[in-house]
Structure 1
Amino acid sequence: MMRSAVLGAVLLAAATSYYIYLPLPSAVAEPWKLMLLDAVFRAMMHVCNLAQDLGLAHNTRVLNYMVTLVEVRGPQSSESVRVTDTSFEGVQARVFESTLPGPRRLKRGVVYFHGGGWALGSGRMRSYDLLCRRMAEDLDAVIISVDYRLAPEVHFPEPYNDALRACRHILTAEVLALFSVDPERVAVSGDSAGGNLAAAVAQQLALDNSVSTKFKVQALIYPVLQALDFNTPSYQQNGNVPILYRPLMARFWLEYLNGDLKLVPSLLANNHTAVNQGQEAVVAAKAKMNWTNLLAPAFQKHYKPVAPCLGTPGLLEQLPGLLDVRAAPLLAEREVLKLVPPAYIMTCEHDVLRDDGLMYARRLEEAGVAVTSDHYAEGFHGCMVFGFWPARFTVGMQSMRNYIHWLQQNL
């Protein structure tokens, strides 16, 4: 009996180790902690996929339900931060107001968009709640975390429209006065898909002369900015690095653009930009993100462009959002880019989206926009919001401190 129990324990330990262990780059931060975090995510995804296969519910809906049960918390104020849930033009949001003692004064303001591939998460999740509290305290600011609608309930351009509508309302004199925000010191920021929305909104509002108050700066955290090339050096290098795998990013794009998920292999092969597509718009768009010109040799390494001669006919007609700057801000014209506010762009070495951020930084600089590039050699996608217990990574805490410090100095 004892021998059977020991054998069972050994087999269980071996199976668990096999499931958790994942070869990672030697330079990635705290690899075993990242493996454990990834194992939890993969286990949740397996449960969600099973629910979908059984016809119970869409896997994304199941995952969001699980996240809501575990992570979402109510608006709990503290001695230093007042927290309230509200809405702006029908878009849900959570407001974090610094209540530090002292004479009444106008404060900094930050509009923040959470990540999650336009399909997951909420500004009310514990990680984002803690991030925004920290920002409100350290910056003596008002942080507005916007809960735009998510796929699969809505698709592009609705999340973008939510983000834009909320920002237009927040930037009105009435709302800024209500929260005692200085109209000369308002930033837009976001991570991952939220960074995409922040960049897209910053471009649109920079063009809109009807909006009198403009964002002073934009702060983009490992943003996703394009879907024309799934074979940039960072996609090739980090395709199997958690927590954002290359096929998962393609899937997020298809969910966002309301595309057929069977098209994931076509996107990964860059078939949507093959030369036989014969569209001038594709040629012009690819020229704006030619990574052989935009990336430093240290990031290009030994990787070569992937440009198939034969693609998937009609793919771009099925997914027109691939060429829409509201979905892919990296494709904006130079005349637009030169109007946007100064930018902070964080990138991580072990992230498929690394090159999106690096290319955007280079294009902004070429357009004459001041850019602060903050790159983390040990970083991985999502690391900044893993700066809190129990998923606390050293690189996450460091990147968060540097991000907030940049806002202190520039907002």
Structure 2
Amino acid sequence: MFILGLVLLSSFFVGVVVWAVLQHFLTTDIPSTLQHPTKFWFLHCMFLYVLALAEIFEKLGICSMLRFLQLLQGSVRIKKDARLMVTDLYFGTIPVRLFQPKAASSGPWRGILFFPGGSGFVGSLDFHHNLCGFLVPEMDSVLLLVGYRKLPDHHYPSIFQDCLNASIHFLKALTTFRVDPARVVICGDSTGGGYVACITQALVGRSDLPQIRAQVLIYAVTQLISLPLPSYWQNRNVPFLSQKFTMMCVFKYMVIDVHWWDAILNGAFRPPEVWRKYRKWLSPDNIPRRFRKPGYQPLFPGPFNEAAYLENKHLLDVANAPLLRDDETITQLPAAFLVSCEHDILHDDTLLCMKQSEDQGVPVTWHHMEDGFHGSLMFFDKKLFSPCSLKITNSVISYIKSV
């Protein structure tokens, strides 16, 4: 009986592997510019395998999909660095991790606030530990990694609230951490990068806090209301952030009924007056022609669906869509460093953010990775994709050291 159960269990896992490989070949586009396409293929098949297991366990009532994925990221191996002092703290109920150099300094350190990515359900303190531990000695800085609340227990606007509160707490305690108030940078990747923009905007005009020196947005989410952009179509099947996976994360975090899938995707939930007001920032026309691959056809919004708008109008909140912030606030923002990747569904979000910033007189530095893909930053210490990942990491380090 035991042997039979073992055989059945093995057959189950082998079946899931076969399904993941088939799904990869049937639905995935592997960019031709990648240096190691075979390794990329293998890694993505493993990613699909884990997602499939998570979905099966959820349907069987064993464990929710998001909880399963979060448990897996707990296996990340944390590297210790003798040059650093790492301290876990709580700002109220918000867990944060403080990275401080052990080396002596003649004056205050540069300060960095880091908001991790992870689509609202991964991206823990441990998951981003090695990256932050690498950045700190390279930039002679004190870094605070913010562990905001996530799915499945917390939804919008928990990330915004936690990042804002942690930022205010840090900015008020700079002298405690020996940080120079004139050299504070906010940095983040993916979801975290989007909230870098949101928090920087929210802090504009705060006379009781030091001003932010610069903001660093690494393939950031800057809006969720203009999805018929070239990169959303061209990279819809590119690992590791497909259109389907992106929409699933958005719908879960923003608490949107799947019934509105098409209305959100084609923009039918946007009131005409809202589109007229913000089209100058959000239109696909703003994307340079060289980033539009052959075959792309602009999608025009479907007829306005008022029911979809009334139920999902929180997508238009500036706490979630920094591109909708008023012009007066945008003109007061600090300099920005924007990183985009060619093979990323969010590529055009960066281009829209760059246009808005430049049009409003905000100094912008743009770093584009021709062979980059979403999430590539997290492979900075892996030989698999180190050339691309290290280029992004080194560009961020170089920029922050220059401001």
Partner of 2:147: 147
Task: Kindly indicate whether residue 282 of structure 2 is the aligned counterpart of residue 297 of structure 1.
Answer: no
Question: Which of 40, 46, 71 is the aligned partner of 1:34?
Answer: 40
1:164–1:201 CA contact under 8 A, matched in 2: yes
Q: Distance in 1 between matches of 2:196 and 2:259?
A: 29
Query: Greater shift after overlay, 11-20 or 327-336?
Result: 11-20
* Residues 212 and 222 of structure 1: CA distance in aligned 2, closer, same or farther (over 3 Å): same
CA offsets, 1:57-81, max 9 Å, x none?
Answer: 321111111212x1264xx753211
Query: Greater shift after overlay, 175-184 or 257-266?
Result: 257-266
Partner of 1:361: 354
Task: Kindly indicate whether residue 251 of structure 2 is the aligned counterpart of residue 254 of structure 1.
Answer: yes
Task: Kindly indicate whether residue 213 of structure 2 is the aligned counterpart of residue 216 of structure 1.
Answer: yes
Q: Distance in 2 between matches of 1:105 and 1:361?
A: 34
Give unmatched runs, 5+ long, in structure 2: 1-10
**1:159 CA drift (Å):** 1.1
* Residues 187 and 251 of structure 1: CA distance in aligned 2, closer, same or farther (over 3 Å): same
**1:333 CA drift (Å):** 2.0
* Residues 296 and 409 of structure 1: CA distance in aligned 2, closer, same or farther (over 3 Å): same
Q: Distance in 2 between matches of 1:268 and 1:281?
A: 16
* Residues 310 and 138 of structure 1: CA distance in aligned 2, closer, same or farther (over 3 Å): same
- Please tell me the residue identity of whatever aligns with 1:306: L
Task: Kindly indicate whether residue 380 of structure 2 is the aligned counterpart of residue 387 of structure 1.
Answer: yes
Q: Distance in 1 between matches of 2:293 and 2:383?
A: 35
**1:295 CA drift (Å):** 2.0
* Residues 58 and 264 of structure 1: CA distance in aligned 2, closer, same or farther (over 3 Å): farther
Query: Greater shift after overlay, 21-30 or 131-140?
Result: 21-30
* Residues 29 and 326 of structure 1: CA distance in aligned 2, closer, same or farther (over 3 Å): farther
- Please tell me the residue identity of whatever aligns with 1:81: L
- Please tell me the residue identity of whatever aligns with 1:249: T
Partner of 1:158: 158
CA offsets, 1:261-291, max 9 Å, x none?
Answer: 3433432333323xxxx54234323343113
Partner of 1:47: 53
Q: Distance in 2 between matches of 1:28 and 1:336?
A: 39
Query: Greater shift after overlay, 226-235 or 20-29?
Result: 20-29
Partner of 2:322: 329
2:29–2:237 CA contact under 8 A, matched in 1: no
* Residues 327 and 14 of structure 1: CA distance in aligned 2, closer, same or farther (over 3 Å): closer
SS at match of 2:184: strand
SS at match of 1:112: strand
Partner of 1:71: 76
1:187–1:219 CA contact under 8 A, matched in 2: yes
Give unmatched runs, 5+ long, in structure 1: 1-7
Q: Distance in 2 between matches of 1:312 and 1:393?
A: 46
CA offsets, 1:17-55, max 9 Å, x none?
Answer: 656655412123422222222112111111111111112
> What value does the CA root-mean-square deviation take over the aligned residues?
2.3
2:230–2:348 CA contact under 8 A, matched in 1: yes
Q: Distance in 1 between matches of 2:326 and 2:298?
A: 23
TM-score (norm 2): 0.90
- Please tell me the residue identity of whatever aligns with 2:92: E
* Residues 14 and 50 of structure 1: CA distance in aligned 2, closer, same or farther (over 3 Å): closer
Number of aligned positions between the proteins: 387
SS at match of 1:186: strand
TM-score (norm 1): 0.88
Query: Greater shift after overlay, 393-402 or 344-353?
Result: 393-402
Partner of 2:200: 202
**1:206 CA drift (Å):** 1.2
* Residues 72 and 89 of structure 1: CA distance in aligned 2, closer, same or farther (over 3 Å): farther
Q: Distance in 2 between matches of 1:46 and 1:370?
A: 44
**1:15 CA drift (Å):** 7.9
**1:95 CA drift (Å):** 0.9
1:77–1:83 CA contact under 8 A, matched in 2: no
Partner of 2:113: 111
Task: Kindly indicate whether residue 401 of structure 2 is the aligned counterpart of residue 408 of structure 1.
Answer: yes
Partner of 1:399: 392
Partner of 1:121: 123
1:200–1:327 CA contact under 8 A, matched in 2: yes
- Please tell me the residue identity of whatever aligns with 1:58: S
Matched residues, percent identical?
28
CA offsets, 1:182-227, max 9 Å, x none?
Answer: 1110100100000011110000101333x33011000000001111
1:20–1:36 CA contact under 8 A, matched in 2: no
